[in-house]
Amino acid sequence: MTSATNVASRPGGTAIRSNRETISLAQRLVVTFDTHLGRTALQALAVVAFFLLWELGVRMGWISEFLVGKPSGIWARFETQLLDGSLFVDSGYTLYEALIGFVVGTIVGSVLGLAMWYSIFVARMVEPFIVALNSVPKIALAPVILLWFGTGLLSKVVLVVSMTALVALIAAYQAAKDSDKDLQSLMLSMGGSKHQIFYSVVVPSSLPAIIATFRINIGFALVGAVVGEFISSKRGLGHLVYNASSLYDLNSVWVGLFVLMFMGFVLYHAIDALERYLLPWKQDTGHVRIQA
């Protein structure tokens, strides 16, 4: 008998072979779906299954429609608001506030954070104040900001800036501090000025961390815009969600929330595209994995 036959004929040999075949099948399935199209198909199936189970649960009486709404009702509200144009207006208003605040807050914060690299003395002086300000929940500042800047567009933009600027500043300063010290010393020994070291070493090495912060700040920007609309606004997705919740219209609430999710998804991938454009070298090393 061959060794393979002996293994199969031993007690448990069939089970071992069966386990190996199962593992092999699982590996083949992973390889089949481990593509962009395969992952997208699985994600779409998961979303469809989630909504089907939700709808089924409501129709069968397992879930309270009053408390969670139902997908068919959400779709009906979505169609109504889409056809009368109100959803476009509210979405555009929130997106405009979030984008302006995001751009201003992220740029100002990143520039100030990188500039702190120039002086250790100044950085150590202002760092406790930055930590103290960052520890204050920005949502708590919303009433003060609305009192100072009114109830219009400006107050929402300022609120978004307050939520994004400090995050960008702290991330940029930390990235600047962590930039390659050996390379800085080498440039200094070769006669490079502090400005040359800053632009040639500090800024390029800090860009990955700064762009990674963009992804975090997108979420903060949408939160800031919606919170401002919660407190005082006549338009926007925050206004839509607040009014719908006060009327116990859960389907309209979900419409606003799903549109916000879609906005965040699109903006996240826009930043991902920006990163691929600005840092093409990072993509070559970012997807290396160890296969077990």
Query: Which tokens hold the place of 73?
Result: 């009702």
* Burial label, 249 (beta-carbon count in 10 A; 0-12, 13-18, 19+): middle
pLDDT of residue 5: 46
Element (H, E) at 252: helix 250-278
Global confidence as pTM: 0.77
Average pLDDT score over the chain: 80
* Polymer length in residues for the chain: 292
Express as a percent the part of the chain with pLDDT over 70. Answer: 83
Residue 87 has pLDDT above 70, yes or no: yes
Q: Which residue has the tokens 């200094």?
A: 188
131 vs 286, which has greater pLDDT?
A: 131
SS3 content of the chain, % helix, strand, coil (to 5): 85, 0, 15
**pLDDT tens-digit readout, 20-72:** 555 565 566 565 656 767 677 787 888 889 989 988 988 888 888 888 888 88
Phi, psi at residue 136, to the nearest 5°?
A: -80, 125
Residue 263 to residue 99: CA distance in whole angstroms: 11
For residue 22, the model assigns a pLDDT of 55
More confident residue, 227 or 187: 227
* C-alpha span between 182 and 174 (Å, rounded): 17
Structure tokens at 220: 């903060």
pLDDT beyond 60 at 284? no
Residue 9 clears pLDDT 50, i.e. is over it: no
C-alpha distances in Å from residue 52, one per residue of 15, 70, 209, 248, 262: 37, 10, 40, 23, 20
User: Is residue 140 pLDDT above 50, yes or no?
Assistant: yes
**Residue 210 parent element (H or E):** helix 203-231
Q: Is the pLDDT of residue 99 over 90?
A: yes
3-state SS class at 150: coil
Q: Which residue bears the tokens 């400090």?
A: 166
For position 132, what pLDDT does the model report?
83
- Model confidence at 287: pLDDT above 70: no
